[in-house]
Amino acid sequence: MNKNTIIYKVFAFAFAFATNVWTGLAQTHKDYPIQPVPFTHVQVNDNFWAPKMQVNANVTIPYILNKCYETGRVDNFRLAAGEIHDHKLTEYTFDDTDLYKLIEGASYALQVKKDPKLDAELDKLIIIIGKAQEDDGYLYTFRTAKVSKPHPWIGSKRWEMEEDLSHELYNAGHLYEAAVAHYLTTGKKTLLTIATKNADLLVKDFGYGKEERFPGHQIIETGLTRLYRVTGKQEYLDLAKFFLDIRGPGKPHSGEYNQSFKKVTEQEEAVGHAVRATYMYTGMADVAALTGDQVYLTAIDKLWDNVVDKKLYITGGIGATGAGEAFGKNYQLPNMSAYAETCAAIANVYWNSRMFQLHGDAKYIDVLERTLYNGLLSGVSLSGDHFFYPNPLASMGQHQRSAWFGCACCISNMTRFLPSMPGYMYGQDGNNLYINLYAGSEANIDLPKGTMQVVQQTNYPWEGSNEITINPAENMQVKIHVRIPGWAQGDPLPSNLYRENAVVLPAVLKLNGKQIDYTLEKGYAILDRTWKKGDRISLVLPMEVQKVFANEQVEDDQNRFALQRGPIVYCLEGPDNLDSTVMNIVVDKDATVQPKFENTLLNGVMTLKMKGNSTKRQVNSDELIKNEQEVTAIPYYAWANRGPSEMEVWIPYEASAAKPKPAPTIASKSKVSGSIKNARMLRGLNDQYDPKSSADASSIYLHWWPAKDTEEYVQYDFDRAYTVSQSSVYWYDDSPFGGCRIPASWKLQYLDGTDWKDVKNTGTYPNDKDSYNKVSFEPVNTKALRLLVQQPKEHSSGIQEWSIK
């Protein structure tokens, strides 16, 4: 046995323990019944995931590493270590975690492909992190750093504001995740020693009769369970459970936002900040598995049912509202204002993976796969260097990918997730092997009876056929569970939230070329036999295009359908359609849809083609101009890679649900400007969208938040001089929770030569919420009109629509 073989076997054992793969030790401890096959045992070589993982390694990781230096995140640690003294701390107290997540993602990438330069760069970062750690293990740069004005979120002493915004424990959780990943990759204990020293401090400080506080932002729980798996230290698991048990009402900052309005075991509805919630549910699953606590298991089962039955987007995204980045009410799933944060999608994958490990039911993988291919993958550009924080399901051009965010959590989270994707493909329970996801790959899986190689040859997700070759080291009897996705059975989700409209052909399963009958158990076709080298499982999944309809209680999706083919959800985007406009498109719900693979589009995607029509308003008439056109849909994950444009997932099949293209009115032809310079918000003033209410966020609107008690303006510069005598404005007001209200007062001015003069209105200026405020004035001939707004003393104001006659 050579040296490399010995190193590999030691690494494999350590990784197996840390990631729940079967070992003799796992037999004597409570744990998940089903263990994941580590991604280090699965080599993906397909045309879909392999290029994306390569872009992450070659582009995204170096890009984020450079950004961590450029934006001062590394200098936060150097300042805390006393190496520099003139650095200003970055904006957010959780910015430390961007380094931790970068190290975790880079460690995963190193497991896939060696990179000595990157390995050395991680060593350098870890030295800097270690120098910032205090002698007793405390590690939180925003408190340790000596600055003249400490960040207002940190409080006056350790742990003081943890329930609210401090993020001390949140940072620690990501540190632990990174430390375990780095240790298992390199065998070096440098970061692991820093992490365990910090965890030992938490064990010393927290507990009943000591600091009885819970983290404001969950993830420390999963970080501690990961440390427990590597070190075997029971106190880490006990502390993870303590942080969950202590969470609840009666403490400072308790409430729905951070899931502390009830004890965690009493919660039945997903509420509050969606990322915090799903990290907590994942931690609850870990604790339930590792302690055997059935009360925890019952609680997360109920919470999962609530999300999948009432709060999950067709893309797998979660979090309906930007107010608190939170879940909305049951069936509240707006499209234009959908938050569906990238971090929440990643956390949703973590949670559903754990739920599968607990229950062995394919319905959890159905949700995981939907999220993976759609609401998660949409978070990063095809180029790997532009990102989405929210992932809306409709846009009028106001959304575009950014190169960076001040709050960069989603960017660094994508970095750590993508290399680990192969780890979700397989699961095992003794000699039961679960094939969960389909991608061209080779996997070497250690089962109690011996080693088995599984080779997948497929062009999934564009094609439904998959040749799976089984190569056991020697003939062995194993039960192979082949997942038949819910979408392939006519069920978009394991609930009645969405339904497909057509009969679905059955999936075809063959063994060594002979078609076999099968029955499904928890979504799997089970093949129980003695396998020999070269045995072939052929799976053909139906890939007909499906039109998906939402439950009638989802108000925003009525009279619309979404397109799905295989696991991919589609959208209409401006560059592929007439006049770069999609909001005005209507497609009959019985229209034929033809798939067409386009090699040169968006790195190669399957597009969908269909006949539809578009509508356009005309001046002085309520009748719409209608044009027939070919309509093209692209995969949702690939939108916004060609600049800002209109986009829509839910396609109207009734004209009443579409938004006709504006008529060429004075306002729509005007150049729009104002005291706010955001061009996308200014575009919303003259799009001729009639809001449902002042708080309607389903279209573009303008606001001046966070400015208060100021005079602001918007202005139309006409294409020529017009005689005007009437104007209407519809205010944006997101009370009671938002920061905008109708203005204290407003007035109109017109341009007379080079001077602005007040119009002489024939009545008062109305100032009502949820309706147009129309004012008539003596006719003026002018080339420009200005609307002046005096904001309230304690709030901002905003505008939904502004029209002129």
Comparing CA positions, the residue from 486, 468, 591 lying closest to residue 542 is 486
pLDDT (average), residues 285-311: 97
Distance (Å) of CA 518 to CA 49, 399, 428, 515: 30, 46, 20, 10
Residue 530 confidence (pLDDT) above 50: yes
Residue 5 confidence (pLDDT) above 80: no
Residue 137 confidence (pLDDT) above 90: yes
pLDDT (average), residues 288-305: 96
pLDDT (average), residues 337-366: 97
- Res. 15 pLDDT band, cuts 50 70 90: very low
pLDDT (average), residues 407-419: 93
Give per-residue pLDDT as tens, 115-125: 999 999 999 99
* pLDDT value for 112: 84
The DSSP result for 428-479, as a single string, is EETTEEEE----SEEEEEEETTEEEEEEEEE-TTT--EEEEEEEESS-EEEE
Structure tokens at 537: 């499982």
Least confident of 40-54, 473-487, 689-703, 706-720: 689-703
Residue 621 confidence (pLDDT) above 80: no
Comparing CA positions, the residue from 181, 153, 177 lying closest to residue 165 is 153
- As a whole number of Å, the CA-based R_g of the chain is 28
Residue 649 confidence (pLDDT) above 80: yes
* pLDDT value for 241: 98
* pLDDT value for 502: 79
With a threshold of 0.85, does the pTM exceed it?
yes
Are β-strands 465-472 and 520-521 bridged in parallel, bridged antiparallel, or unpaired?
unpaired
Are β-strands 426-429 and 498-500 bridged in parallel, bridged antiparallel, or unpaired?
unpaired
Neighbours of 505 (CB within 10 A): 14
DSSP 269: S
Are β-strands 432-435 and 476-483 bridged in parallel, bridged antiparallel, or unpaired?
parallel
* pLDDT value for 60: 97
pLDDT (average), residues 678-704: 88
* pLDDT value for 538: 98
Give per-residue pLDDT as tens, 664-675: 888 989 999 999
Neighbours of 406 (CB within 10 A): 9
pLDDT (average), residues 463-489: 97
Contacts of 191 (CB under 8 A, 6+ apart): 103, 126, 129, 175, 178, 179, 182, 183
Structure tokens at 325: 């980045």
* pLDDT value for 625: 84
* pLDDT value for 91: 94
pLDDT (average), residues 364-373: 98
pLDDT (average), residues 424-437: 97
* Residue of higher predicted confidence among 601 and 18: 601
Residue 227 confidence (pLDDT) above 70: yes
Residue 21 confidence (pLDDT) above 60: no
* pLDDT value for 162: 56
pLDDT (average), residues 248-259: 88
Residue 411 confidence (pLDDT) above 50: yes
- Res. 129 pLDDT band, cuts 50 70 90: very high
Q: For a pLDDT cut of 90, what percent of the chain falls above it?
A: 84
* pLDDT value for 594: 98
What residues does 483 pair with on adjacent strands? Answer: 524
- Res. 161 pLDDT band, cuts 50 70 90: low
Residue 17 confidence (pLDDT) above 60: no
Residue 24 confidence (pLDDT) above 80: no
Give per-residue pLDDT as tens, 29-40: 689 999 999 988
pLDDT (average), residues 306-315: 98
Comparing CA positions, the residue from 482, 354, 480 lying closest to residue 429 is 480
Residue 27 confidence (pLDDT) above 80: no
Contacts of 472 (CB under 8 A, 6+ apart): 450, 451, 452, 453, 478, 531, 532, 533
Q: For a pLDDT cut of 70, what percent of the chain falls above it?
A: 96
The mean of the pLDDT values for the chain is 93
Residue 387 confidence (pLDDT) above 80: yes
For residue 142, the Cα-to-chain-centroid distance in whole angstroms is 27
Residue 683 confidence (pLDDT) above 90: no
* Residue of higher predicted confidence among 615 and 629: 629
* pLDDT value for 283: 97
Comparing CA positions, the residue from 381, 402, 378, 382 lying closest to residue 392 is 378
Neighbours of 501 (CB within 10 A): 12
* pLDDT value for 6: 32
Least confident of 358-362, 389-393, 621-625: 621-625
Q: How far apart, in whole angstroms, are the C-alpha atoms of residue 357 and residue 429?
A: 9
* pLDDT value for 414: 94
Structure tokens at 622: 């309520």
* pLDDT value for 474: 96
